[in-house]
Amino acid sequence: MTANGPSSIHPPVVIAGGGIGGMVAALTLHQIGVPCLVLEAVPELRPLGVGINLQPNAVRELYDLGIDDRLLDTIGLQAREWALVGRNGKDIYAEPRGLLAGYRWPQYSVHRGKLQMLLYQTVCERLGADAVRLGTRVIGYRNHDDGVTVQTESRDSDRQTIEASLLIAADGLHSAVRAQMHPGQPPIQWGGAIMWRGTTPGVPARSGASFIGLGSLRHRVVAYPISPPDPVTGLATINWIAEITVDNSAGWTQGDWNRRVAVSEFIHHFADWNFGWLDVPAMLRGAAEVFEYPMIDRDPVPTWVDGRVALLGDAAHVMYPVGSNGASQAIVDARVLGAAMIAHGVTPAALRAYDEALCADISALVLRNRGAGPFGLLGLVDDRCGGVFDDIDQVVPVAERDAFMARYKAAAGFAIEALNVAPPTIAPGARVASLARP
């Protein structure tokens, strides 16, 4: 068996899934001196996906892992503004983001696949390439008194078992480990929103690094750059999501959760959305490829832990991508888990402490995002004036808009002062004291 770190006697912590959460968990365990092995289902990691946002609380954790602005600037750019704009093109709400908002750490808008590759590369550099075993799907586990047996399957259906001290399941939306841990969990929940996503070269609007949510709660477009403008052409890579909400009573009938579609299939919903400063139809048409996703999540489960097994990232709390917190929370999970191991060792008690620290609060966030998260402000405007207004202050006064956003940020862990004064999740140089098996 391949293990890395100071002790090859102690069985490694096995991490199921080499996505954002799994890779950050591996880097964290390495930082605190715990041997680990990542099992990733796909035979080759490729930079898949489009744009995501990393909130300052998650960027702080990456910095603490030595993945700082020099590296993050190669895969994205620092966000400057978050803005909601009505269907009439008029501002509803805007606030500075990241350093401009007063955080000690920036917010980053990055390409999800490039981030995953950066983390993978860093894991290979620090832990060695054999710390990630590709083409190895985790299909189940069995807890026993002094460890956990992880069951795996290779691409050619070869089944094996691996002994681990703990199993961290970062195996995403369709987590096999979660399905075993919570066999009665309801199916994936789709609330009726359909998203079409792509990237298009374009001139970034507003601040040059603005996240723009435009339209109404059930019919909207999000656009933000995930690269700086090219110095010659002035064009940046603009990540966009076009979204409508439809009747979901028949369930999601398209089968695939991530289907490539032609722009002609949905552009009619946005045909006259040209505001001058943002020409939505041109932006949609300019994408090389477009993917259709239903907006889905899962009902929260009462615990993320079963003995020596813990869920992390989307496996624990897949949520609607309305608050830019899916990837950020996966990163934070990994760090909180590392801190719990420093306090309790590589033990089930560490997993229980992690569960207690996060499960209830983040489950509440999943449900809050189902209620539209920060986009709920658009819903308020729709309710009060059908989305049509001359003066937003007459519809939702500024104090009410500010209070709405402050509540969301506090719940999602983005509150500026609280984050700025919080000690690091893992103190510099902190390591797990003993690797002896409990």
Q: State the residues that interact with ligand FAD by CB under 6 A.
A: 16-22, 39-42, 48-50, 52, 112, 137-138, 170-172, 176, 313-315, 321, 326-327, 330
Among 148, 137, 122, 132, which Cα is nearest to 171's? 137
| Neighbour count for residue 326 (Cβ, 10 Å) | 23
* Nearest approach, Cβ of residue 291 and ligand FAD (Å): 8
Report residue 252: phi and psi, to 5°: -80, 115
> How big is the chain by its Cα radius of gyration, in Å?
22
Are 151 and 161 in contact by the 8 Å Cβ rule? The answer is yes
- Which pairing describes strands 91-96 and 81-85: parallel, antiparallel, or unpaired? antiparallel
* Nearest approach, Cβ of residue 21 and ligand FAD (Å): 3
* Nearest approach, Cβ of residue 191 and ligand FAD (Å): 16
Are 322 and 372 in contact by the 8 Å Cβ rule? The answer is yes
| Neighbour count for residue 128 (Cβ, 10 Å) | 12
The smaller minimum CB distance to ligand FAD, of residues 315 and 405, is found at 315
Q: Whose CB is nearest to ligand FAD?
A: 19
The smaller minimum CB distance to ligand FAD, of residues 306 and 382, is found at 306
The smaller minimum CB distance to ligand FAD, of residues 308 and 401, is found at 308
The smaller minimum CB distance to ligand FAD, of residues 87 and 335, is found at 335
* Nearest approach, Cβ of residue 243 and ligand FAD (Å): 13
* Nearest approach, Cβ of residue 279 and ligand FAD (Å): 23
Are 111 and 75 in contact by the 8 Å Cβ rule? The answer is yes
The smaller minimum CB distance to ligand FAD, of residues 98 and 313, is found at 313
The smaller minimum CB distance to ligand FAD, of residues 39 and 392, is found at 39
- Distance, in Å, from the CA atom of 20 to the CA atom of 45, rounded to the nearest integer, reads 12
Find residue 37's DSSP bridge partners: 14
* Nearest approach, Cβ of residue 207 and ligand FAD (Å): 22
Among 200, 234, 242, 207, which Cα is nearest to 94's? 207
